[in-house]
């Protein structure tokens, strides 16, 4: 299974507002950097016993983020990927909310991630709808 089957992706009917391929690498590089910095600021003062739930939610969103690509591009399961990205979207909201309790800066750093995943969720939905 090719995890990044771009030939398959390009064969799909995609909405007109789909970004060009070259946008994804820099966008995700910047977002992952911001996610990592957010986590650093969240954990920097220690007190991990109080932060176990936010950290667990963070771990969940990270796992959902990681599994979306092989489900969408590798398994070519657009609808399943849509369910995963919707769960990711809700988990990002939960991370922002729980991180905000400890570090407003950490929460603010995650807003671009939330916005990008919101856009990606809509794209995933439209791709599923156009190719069902």
pLDDT tens digits along 85-130: 999 999 999 999 999 999 999 999 999 999 999 999 999 999 999 9
The arithmetic mean of pLDDT across residues 57-80, rounded, is 97
Number of structural domains found in the chain: 1
Domain that holds residue 83: 23-131
Confidence class of residue 46 from pLDDT cuts 50, 70 and 90? confident
Q: What is the pLDDT of residue 4?
A: 72
Is the distance from CB of 55 to CB of 103 less than 8 angstroms? no
Average pLDDT for the chain: 95
Q: Is residue 9 part of a domain?
A: no
In a domain, 31, yes or no: yes
CB atoms within 10 A of CB 10: 9
Find how far residue 119's CA is from the centre of its chain. Answer: 10
Instruction: Let me know if residue 58 belongs to a domain.
Output: yes
Q: How far is CA 24 from the centre of its chain?
A: 12
* 9 pLDDT more than 70: yes
Whether 1 has a pLDDT exceeding 70, the answer reads no
Q: What's the CA gap between 106 and 101, in Å, rounded?
A: 10
- What is the pLDDT, as a whole number, of residue 6? 80
33, part of any domain? yes
Instruction: Give the mean model confidence (pLDDT) for residues 75-80.
Output: 97
Q: Is residue 12 part of a domain?
A: no
Residue 15 falls within a domain, yes or no?
Answer: no
The reply to whether 85 falls in a domain is yes
13 lies in some domain: no
Average pLDDT over residues 49-72: 96
Confidence of residue 2 (pLDDT cuts 50, 70, 90): low
What pLDDT does residue 73 have?
94
> Can you give the pTM of this predicted structure?
0.93
């Amino acid at each position: 299974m090719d995890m990044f089957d771009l030939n398959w992706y390009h064969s799909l009917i995609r909405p007109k507002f789909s970004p060009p391929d070259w946008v994804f690498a820099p966008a995700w590089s910047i977002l992952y950097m911001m996610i990592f910095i957010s986590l650093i600021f969240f954990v920097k003062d220690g007190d991990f016993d109080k932060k176990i739930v936010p950290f667990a939610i963070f771990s969940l969103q990270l796992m959902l983020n990681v599994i979306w690509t092989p489900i969408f591009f590798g398994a070519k399961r657009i609808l399943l990927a849509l369910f995963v990205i919707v769960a990711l979207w809700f988990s990002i909201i939960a991370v922002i909310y729980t991180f905000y309790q400890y570090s407003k800066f950490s929460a603010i750093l995650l807003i671009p991630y939330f916005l990008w995943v919101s856009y990606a969720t809509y794209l995933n939905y439209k791709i599923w709808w156009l190719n069902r």
